[in-house]
């Protein structure tokens, strides 16, 4: 559970670096939990016939609750590739911007220390 808990603890930390593994494991946990909540919501809607589901509210709350931690870990991931947080704005460009941001997130980080901090793969 460290993959989920550690980034949530650093939900407003926009300095430093995040390794590729830390970023992708956090994203995986976010998506898996969200999918479980959505599937549970759909199951309850089928079983309860048009009765508003409390779980739908939970999936929305989860999405909003992890929004800021996701932005902060994206910023730290960009720092690991020696890019400033402003590169996150490239994601606002339809399609091509999201592809570009995805490429930055899968790139290897800078080996050794850079201007944003210590190498997350070798620091404890």
For 17-70, write each residue's pLDDT tens digit. 999 999 999 999 999 999 998 888 777 766 665 556 566 777 888 999 999 999
Nearest alpha-carbon partner for 122 in 114, 72, 104, 111:
111
Domain map of the chain by residue range?
2-106
- pLDDT at residue number 78: 95
Model confidence at 124: pLDDT above 60: no
Each residue's pLDDT tens digit, 80-114: 999 999 999 999 999 999 999 999 999 999 888 89
DSSP 12-77: T--SS---HHHHHHHHHHHHHHHHHHHHHHHHHHHHHTSPPPHHHHHHHHHHHHTHHHHHHHHHHH
- pLDDT at residue number 69: 94
- pLDDT at residue number 40: 83
Higher pLDDT pick, 73 / 3? 73
Q: Cα separation of 60 and 50, whole Å?
A: 18
Contact in structure between 62 and 8 (CB atoms under 8 Å): no
3-state secondary structure 87-111: HHHHHHCCCHHHHHHHHHHHCCCCC
- pLDDT at residue number 53: 58
- pLDDT at residue number 29: 92
Residue found by looking up tokens 């999936």 in the block = 59
């Amino acid at each position: 559970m460290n993959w989920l808990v550690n980034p949530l603890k650093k939900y407003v930390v926009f300095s430093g670096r995040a390794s590729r593994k830390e970023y992708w494991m956090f994203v995986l946990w976010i998506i898996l939990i969200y999918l479980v909540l959505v599937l549970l919501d759909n199951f309850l809607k089928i079983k309860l016939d048009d009765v508003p589901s409390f779980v739908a509210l939970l999936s929305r709350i989860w999405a909003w609750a992890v929004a800021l931690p996701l932005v902060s870990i994206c910023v730290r991931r960009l720092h690991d590739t020696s890019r400033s947080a402003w590169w996150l704005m490239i994601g606002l460009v339809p399609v091509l911007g999201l592809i570009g941001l995805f490429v930055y997130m899968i790139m290897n980080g800078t080996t050794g220390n850079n201007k944003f901090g210590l190498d997350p793969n070798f620091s404890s």
